[in-house]
Amino acid sequence: MRTFRIRHETAYHYGGPITSSYGLYHLSPREIERQHVLGHRVDVTPVPADRSSYVDVYGNLRTWYHVTEPHTDLVIVGTTDIDIGPQCLDADLLALPWEQCRPDLRRDVPDWWEAVDFTLPSPRVDVLPQVGEYAAPSFGRARPLGEAVEELNHRIHADFAYDPRATSVTTRVADVLRIRAGVCQDFSQLMVACLRSVGLAGRYVSGYLATVPAPGRPRNIGADATHAWAGVWVPGAGWYDLDPTNDRPVDESHATVAWGRDYSDVAPVRGVIFGAGGGSSMKVSVDMAPIEQSTFPAP
Amino acid sequence: MSLPPAAPGPVPGAVPGPTFDELRTPDGTLRVGWDELAALVEAPLDWARLQDEVDRRLADDNVTFRPWTTDEDDGEAGEARFDDDDDVDEPQPWRLDPVPLVLHSREWREVERGLVQRAELLSAIFHDLYGDRRLLTDGVLPPELVLGHPGYLRPLVGARQAGGLFMVGASLGRAGDGGWLVGAHQTQAPVGAGYAMENRRVLSRVHAELYREADLVRLTPFYQAMRAALVESGPRGVEDPHVVVLTPGTHAATAFDQAFLASRLGFPLVEGNDLVVRDGRVWLRSLGRLEPVDVIFRHVSARATDPLELQPGSRLGVAGLTEVVRRGAVSVVNSLGTGVLENPGLMAFDDRICHHLLEEPLRLPSLPSWWCGEAASRSHVVTQLDRLRVAQIGSGEVWEGSLLSAEERDTLRRRVEADPHLYVGHEPLPLSTTPSVREGRLVPERFHLTGYLIRHGSTYAALPGGLGEIRTEPVAVSYGPHTVSGRPTKDLWIVSGDDLPPASGDEGDMVAEMIAGTRAMMPRVLDDLFWMGRYAERAEDTVRLVSATHHVLVELNMVSRPGSPVDTLLDSLYAMTTTPRPADATSVLRQLRTLLVNRSRRGTVARSLARLSHAADGVRDQLSSDVWVVLAGAERALDQLRRRGLDDSSALGDAAEHSLVALLALNGITAENMVRDAGWQLLDTGRALERAIQVVGLLQTCFTVPALRRGVTADEQGRWSTPPDQMVLAAAMTAAESVVTHRRRHGGRPELSTALDLLVSDRTNPRSVAFQVERIDAALRRLPHAPTSGRPQRLLTDLAELTTATAVQRVSHGEPAVAPPALDETGVETVPVAAPGPNPVQCVDGYLVDLRSRLFSLSEAISEAYLTREPQPRPLWVAADLPPGPAGSGM
């Protein structure tokens, strides 16, 4: 178990005054078995005239806001103190033959139908034949699920170069496969597509990664921005999350914020604006550092 | 005369087996229902004439559809509203068969019960899928069928939406044994209730006597109930809810349907841009104020209603709407997310669902259907591909198995096997035949029917009628995409069999007048009305000038030489319509013809009429239906000319005269029959402004420009003494409708100065510039909540000063219109005027150029002050080097 303070700042600057800005954000880490939120707040400047949160269909906290004060700079800062532990999955379940983990074959498990949602193509994840071809070698007959997905995770890490200039927020899975490079978002969506190509349920997870690795661990890639990884549904156990960017299962360096079918379900911030003047720029900075003790007032 | 037996010829791929005949039983007697209307099929009727009458009435009401939808923005400011090349899709005329479909109420009652149950079932499915999801947890519906459908909107799961499933459309067709089957549902925004109303309106007039005498069930009560139900749909606790009808705009495929319905129900028709979310509510922008909106009757697909949450980049929606819906502060009907019910795959399960949710059997069966996500169904579909109809869930793509080649079937089979959960197979229907008019004769034609239901308390009420569509191709029942096909439609008459109380009022009349105070005064509507005024005046003035030129041409025996009066007038026409004069001159007559009828050319009468009609389309809910009759009349006059020879001089004269009469009638309608609200003031402003621009242009192009070209000297300034000059003057004065006044006041010695007096400064002449300036000033003063001082007012003050009698006199004498003002202390407000030229004609010319440019500035200023539409939403941030992505690319 480790304790962190996460600070995530997103700053927009516009060439002319914006008179109305509507937005949605997913910036509040989830309360789940392996993590516990000690304190959390999001500050939006200028202060929104209207703001409210609700729990979305996947259980994430989603916040809607409307800023009406004319502005040329919009800054959204999320601050969280959080305890994080490792994933604890039953080794027996990870040893199941992967074919037995397809939701449509596991109607004995109560949440099977919800997992079906994650086997279907989604707005950002096309399950194309070339994806299936890429995934196939990892899914030999009756191979244990854990082994299969760890190998897939490793292959993506090995075959694809980490290159922030290679792709953008709109890059699709087919492009990533072609150019063999990308960032955490691309690798995660590719991994999700691979899982779906063999009938498994794959989810996209958005979160943060500790800026400084735990002692004796390798450098964390992608820690200076928001991070993302992928999860596979394990019948009876929930989800097994893997980080293809760092070639390892998710551990106590990973803070989970939200999950969905792909990036479009859980984008950290998105919005539409009205106002004069063209040109805009955006700056994102993330810091996730260990702390001794949370200084947030008790939640 | 009796019909030939209903034996439709072999159609490729026709469904084998018997076809039900709507008209007669197998022994040849008329079916119950038709016996009441035997006059339609047994008396010899002139069907060609009746079809013509139907067509004419539809044209009079401007009933149209567009073959496809575009969501392009048309909001272009400037002199013309559109680029020349960026013409809007031509709307196509709506088609209606003069023979109604006929059913007896005994049979209809059964269908109705089935439809009502189906609507209740769909409503129950909707509430389940966005609520407890028992259909999924209990395993009644396969999850991939629901979760893989694009109509399933995850942001609305768990939201307690106030609206619910308000209206349902269901497509029906008959099996060979005569049983009715449902083939598709329209649950987003059912199309056609407005068209159905219009079809009835037309047929009830075409067969007026028969309609009055037969015991037919009337439609009007359904629309009255619809209005009441919309009002009742408001969020809980709202006393007197404000209802609006949301449309994608006049470019939409079925814009008529929405606008007609809105106008008959008495609710304002709005576009997404007219609405705004603020303080957790939806508001209507209305001339400088915001008015609350409680119920949105949407005709926009759910995804397009919110560019923030549902479809980035949508220009048809309202940013933030989803959140207001989630909070229950606005009712959207149908609710967001009802599109999931249009999934054709549900047809394979609806009997099962009916048992599960309503605990009763399904009364009106669906087309036998097989969802390929289940192995047994898949193999059934795959082995019967040569017979079945296959639909892709989501995309709506449909294949008629019987029409596919072996190779195409193979491709389809592979597609089905690759993604079985995305496909569903349906049993094709033979459909029944009903007498219909083809080339003036009655022949049996296949058809299918769309029925409509609205929520009525805890259950639903069905329209006692429907929208039939003739199907000449061998297909089952139509599916959404919710647009219309352009096939001929049918009106369904239900014969009651009871003695009905005499119906009051005509079918298709106003259900409710829009309450004057709630007339929507969105900038978009005001803009449309302003341009309606401008195009109406432009069309009228162009017709007058073409007509006047034509008279001169006839007087001169069709001869025109360079510098001749006709030549001068043609130059004027081209300058006024801002088109270059063609270098290779065809005959003058043909040029005049083009200036009247060619719609693709800028500035022509036909073009102005098309623009006028487009602007009017956008505000159909604000206008009397007489407007369409009049516009159709003008269009018909041009059409007659189009059909005549290129060199038919008298036809040209007639067309000009008839279109002018129609335009004058339009003037009359707007002057006599329209409430003097803000919209009318802008319409009048547009008309006045255009008239001023036209008059100034006429003076310049008929007087000063040719005079300068001929080098008129100072001492003969402005004196028009030669017969050709007189002719041009007379023609121009005729075009400006001031020839009589001029003759009376100034006798036969026309001079530039007298023309200027009459057409510029005479405040008693309703054609003069000064008159228009006063008229605009008065109209703008009458706008509610509008600024009373601003750039338009300053420009008007200057124009008033420049068009006084003194000013005109000074200019005629080669002096500046206004004596150079002494600088006031602030030194700001001086009136710049054209510098005096050495030659008074030149001076007048400069003066007119200056007036014209000031009038254009005024138009711009008015647009800016009163008619500016809100900017379109942009993503929060887009990387500079990247185009906005297709989805979720908001950051």
Q: Is A59 a residue whose pLDDT tops 60?
A: yes
- B436 touches B442 (CB < 8 A): yes
Residue that has been written with the tokens 């749909």 in this structure: B233
For residue A189, the distance in angstroms to the closest alpha carbon of chain B comes to 14
CB neighbour class for B390 (10 Å; exposed up to 12, middle 13-18, buried from 19): buried
CA separation for the pair B582, B197 (Å, rounded): 47
In this prediction, residues B425-430 reach a mean pLDDT of 89
Q: Is A138 a residue whose pLDDT tops 90?
A: yes
> Is residue B662 domain-shared with residue B695, that is, in the same domain?
no
Share above pLDDT 70 across residues of chain B, in percent, rounded to a whole number = 86
> Is residue B732 domain-shared with residue B822, that is, in the same domain?
yes
Residue that has been written with the tokens 């309606």 in this structure: B532
- Report which secondary-structure segment, H or E, holds A285: strand A280-290
Q: What average pLDDT does the structure give for chain B?
A: 85
For residue B539, give both structure tokens. Answer: 């069309």
| CA–CA distances in Å: residue B146 to residues B130, B186, B339, B394, B860 | 11, 16, 11, 10, 51
For residue B388, give both structure tokens. Answer: 């079945």
B797: helix, coil or strand? helix
- pLDDT tier, B1 (very low <50, low <70, confident <90, very high otherwise): very low
CA separation for the pair A205, B839 (Å, rounded): 81
- pLDDT tier, A199 (very low <50, low <70, confident <90, very high otherwise): very high
Q: Is B605 a residue whose pLDDT tops 60?
A: yes
Written as one letter, the residue type at A60 is N
Mutate to test the interface with A, among B133, B282, B877 (most CBs of A within 10 A): B877
For residue B821, give both structure tokens. Answer: 């003002």
Interface contact A64-B871, CB threshold 8 A? no
Torsion of CA B731, B735, B736, B740, to 10 degrees: 60
Q: State whether residue B277 sits within 8 Å of chain A by CB.
A: yes
pLDDT tens digits, one per residue of B843-861? 889 999 999 999 999 999 9
CA diameter of chain B? 101
> Is residue B715 domain-shared with residue B651, that is, in the same domain?
no
Task: Please tell me the predicted confidence (pLDDT) of residue B507.
Answer: 76
Candidates B529, B534, B777; CA nearest to B675 is B529
A107 neighbourhood in chain B, CB within 8 Å:
139
- pLDDT tier, B86 (very low <50, low <70, confident <90, very high otherwise): very low
For residue A92, the distance in angstroms to the closest alpha carbon of chain B comes to 27
Q: State whether residue B889 sits within 8 Å of chain A by CB.
A: yes
Candidates A234, A108, A122; CA nearest to A188 is A122
State how far Cα B682 lies from the chain centre: 20
Cβ-Cβ contacts under 8 Å for B315 (sequence gap 6 or more): B71, B73, B272, B273, B307, B872, B873
> Is residue B485 domain-shared with residue B603, that is, in the same domain?
no
Interface contact A273-B876, CB threshold 8 A? yes
- pLDDT tier, B523 (very low <50, low <70, confident <90, very high otherwise): confident
Share above pLDDT 90 across residues of chain B, in percent, rounded to a whole number = 56
- A176 touches A159 (CB < 8 A): no
> Is residue B754 domain-shared with residue B665, that is, in the same domain?
no
Q: List beta partners, residue B492.
A: B101
Q: Is B204 a residue whose pLDDT tops 70?
A: yes
For residue A198, the distance in angstroms to the closest alpha carbon of chain B comes to 12
Residue that has been written with the tokens 């004498």 in this structure: B813
Task: Please tell me the predicted confidence (pLDDT) of residue A204.
Answer: 98
CA separation for the pair B757, B803 (Å, rounded): 9
Interface contact B280-A50, CB threshold 8 A? yes
Task: Please tell me the predicted confidence (pLDDT) of residue B484.
Answer: 63
pLDDT tens digits, one per residue of B448-495? 999 999 998 889 999 999 999 998 765 544 444 445 677 899 999 999
Phi then psi for residue B405, to 5 deg, are -75, 165
The secondary structure of residue B216, as a DSSP letter, is B
Interface contact B155-A56, CB threshold 8 A? yes
Q: Is B229 left (phi over 0), alpha (psi -120 to 50) or beta?
A: alpha
Q: State whether residue B38 sits within 8 Å of chain A by CB.
A: no
Q: Is B836 a residue whose pLDDT tops 60?
A: no
Which stretches within B577-714 are classed as H helix? 588-597, 605-618, 626-643, 649-673, 678-699, 705-710
Task: Please tell me the predicted confidence (pLDDT) of residue B706.
Answer: 83
Candidates B139, B166, B295; CA nearest to B226 is B166
> Is residue B723 domain-shared with residue B808, that is, in the same domain?
yes
| A12, A113, A120 ranked by CB distance to B877: nearest | A12
| CA–CA distances in Å: residue A208 to residues A231, A239, A257 | 15, 18, 8
In this prediction, residues A195-211 reach a mean pLDDT of 96
Interface contact A23-B280, CB threshold 8 A? no
Residue that has been written with the tokens 């006047």 in this structure: B548
Task: Please tell me the predicted confidence (pLDDT) of residue B884.
Answer: 36
Q: Is B79 a residue whose pLDDT tops 50?
A: no
Reported residue count of chain A is 299
CA separation for the pair B204, B206 (Å, rounded): 6
Cβ-Cβ contacts under 8 Å for B96 (sequence gap 6 or more): B54, B58, B199, B202, B203, B488, B489, B490, B491
Q: Is B808 left (phi over 0), alpha (psi -120 to 50) or beta?
A: alpha
Written as one letter, the residue type at B429 is L
> Is residue B540 domain-shared with residue B654, that is, in the same domain?
yes
**Structural domain count, chain B:** 3
Query: Out of A50-59, B321-330, B490-499, which region has the weakest mean confidence (pLDDT)?
Result: B490-499
> Is residue B653 domain-shared with residue B727, that is, in the same domain?
no
> Is residue B308 domain-shared with residue B195, that is, in the same domain?
yes
Task: Please tell me the predicted confidence (pLDDT) of residue B353.
Answer: 96
- B283 touches B272 (CB < 8 A): no
The answer as to whether B1 is a domain residue is no
Q: Is B281 a residue whose pLDDT tops 90?
A: yes
Instruction: Verify cis geometry, omega within 30 degrees of 0, for the bond prior to B580.
Output: no
Phi then psi for residue B533, to 5 deg, are -60, -45
Residue intervals of chain A classified under CATH 2.60.40.2250 are 2-84+266-290
> Is residue B662 domain-shared with residue B700, that is, in the same domain?
no
The answer as to whether B80 is a domain residue is no
Query: Out of A231-245, B68-82, B486-500, which region has the weakest mean confidence (pLDDT)?
Result: B68-82
Q: Is A220 a residue whose pLDDT tops 80?
A: no
State how far Cα A93 lies from the chain centre: 24
pLDDT tens digits, one per residue of B531-543? 999 999 999 999 9
Cβ-Cβ contacts under 8 Å for A207 (sequence gap 6 or more): A29, A226, A227, A228, A229, A254, A255, A256, A257, A258
Query: Out of A38-42, A209-213, B88-92, B853-857, which region has the weakest mean confidence (pLDDT)?
Result: B88-92
Candidates B449, B491, B474, B411; CA nearest to B195 is B491
Beta-carbon count within 10 A of B853 CB? 11
- pLDDT tier, B707 (very low <50, low <70, confident <90, very high otherwise): confident
In this prediction, residues B326-347 reach a mean pLDDT of 95
Domain coverage including residue B873:
675-891
Mutate to test the interface with A, among B154, B340, B876, B882 (most CBs of A within 10 A): B876
pLDDT tens digits, one per residue of A142-177? 999 999 999 999 999 999 999 988 888 788 999 999
Interface contact A272-B876, CB threshold 8 A? yes
A23: helix, coil or strand? strand
Task: Please tell me the predicted confidence (pLDDT) of residue B499.
Answer: 61
Q: Is B746 a residue whose pLDDT tops 80?
A: no
> Is residue B701 domain-shared with residue B656, that is, in the same domain?
no
- A103 touches A115 (CB < 8 A): yes
Q: Is B875 a residue whose pLDDT tops 90?
A: no
A169 neighbourhood in chain B, CB within 8 Å:
879, 885, 889, 891
Q: Is B54 a residue whose pLDDT tops 50?
A: yes
Note which residues in 190-219 of chain A have CB less than 8 A from chain B.
none
Q: Is B558 left (phi over 0), alpha (psi -120 to 50) or beta?
A: left
CATH number of A91-264: 3.10.620.30
pLDDT tens digits, one per residue of B613-652? 988 988 887 788 889 999 999 999 999 999 988 889 999 9
The answer as to whether B35 is a domain residue is no
The sign of the torsion formed by the CA atoms of B145, B146, B148, B151 equals positive
Residue intervals of chain A classified under CATH 3.10.620.30 are 91-264
Please report the ipTM that was assigned to this predicted complex: 0.94
In this prediction, residues B599-626 reach a mean pLDDT of 87
Cβ-Cβ contacts under 8 Å for A183 (sequence gap 6 or more): A162, A163, A164, A166, A167, A222, A245
Candidates A177, A181, A170, A184; CA nearest to A124 is A170
Phi then psi for residue A170, to 5 deg, are -100, 0
For residue B560, give both structure tokens. Answer: 């025109």
Task: Please tell me the predicted confidence (pLDDT) of residue B734.
Answer: 86
**Beta strand A202-209 pairing with A254-260:** antiparallel
The secondary structure of residue B823, as a DSSP letter, is P
- pLDDT tier, A234 (very low <50, low <70, confident <90, very high otherwise): very high
- B12 touches B403 (CB < 8 A): yes
Written as one letter, the residue type at B305 is T
Q: Is A108 a residue whose pLDDT tops 60?
A: yes
Task: Please tell me the predicted confidence (pLDDT) of residue B504.
Answer: 56
- pLDDT tier, A253 (very low <50, low <70, confident <90, very high otherwise): very high
Candidates B63, B176, B686, B153; CA nearest to B428 is B176
Task: Please tell me the predicted confidence (pLDDT) of residue A298.
Answer: 53
List, as one string, the DSSP characters of A45-74.
Answer: ESPPSEEEEEE-TTS-EEEEEEE-S-EEEE
CA separation for the pair A69, B867 (Å, rounded): 24
pLDDT tens digits, one per residue of A13-44? 999 999 999 999 999 999 999 999 999 999 99
> Is residue B562 domain-shared with residue B688, that is, in the same domain?
no
- pTM over 0.90? The answer is no
Written as one letter, the residue type at B581 is R
Candidates B527, B538, B540, B795; CA nearest to B682 is B527
CA separation for the pair B469, B97 (Å, rounded): 9
Segments of B819-875 assigned E as strands: 874-875
Beta-carbon count within 10 A of B61 CB? 21
- Report which secondary-structure segment, H or E, holds B156: none
CA separation for the pair A81, A59 (Å, rounded): 20
B143 neighbourhood in chain A, CB within 8 Å:
113-114, 116-117
Question: Half-sphere exposure of B138 toward its Cβ, with a 13 Å CA cutoff?
Answer: 12
Size of interface A-B (CB pairs under 8 A): 124
CA separation for the pair B834, A209 (Å, rounded): 72
Domain A2-84+266-290 grouped into CATH 3.30.565.10: no
Q: State whether residue A169 sits within 8 Å of chain B by CB.
A: yes
More confident residue, B555 or B540: B540
Task: Please tell me the predicted confidence (pLDDT) of residue B888.
Answer: 30
Interface contact A169-B879, CB threshold 8 A? yes
The secondary structure of residue B761, as a DSSP letter, is I
Q: Name the CA radius of gyration of chain A, rounded.
A: 20
For residue A129, give both structure tokens. Answer: 């034949």
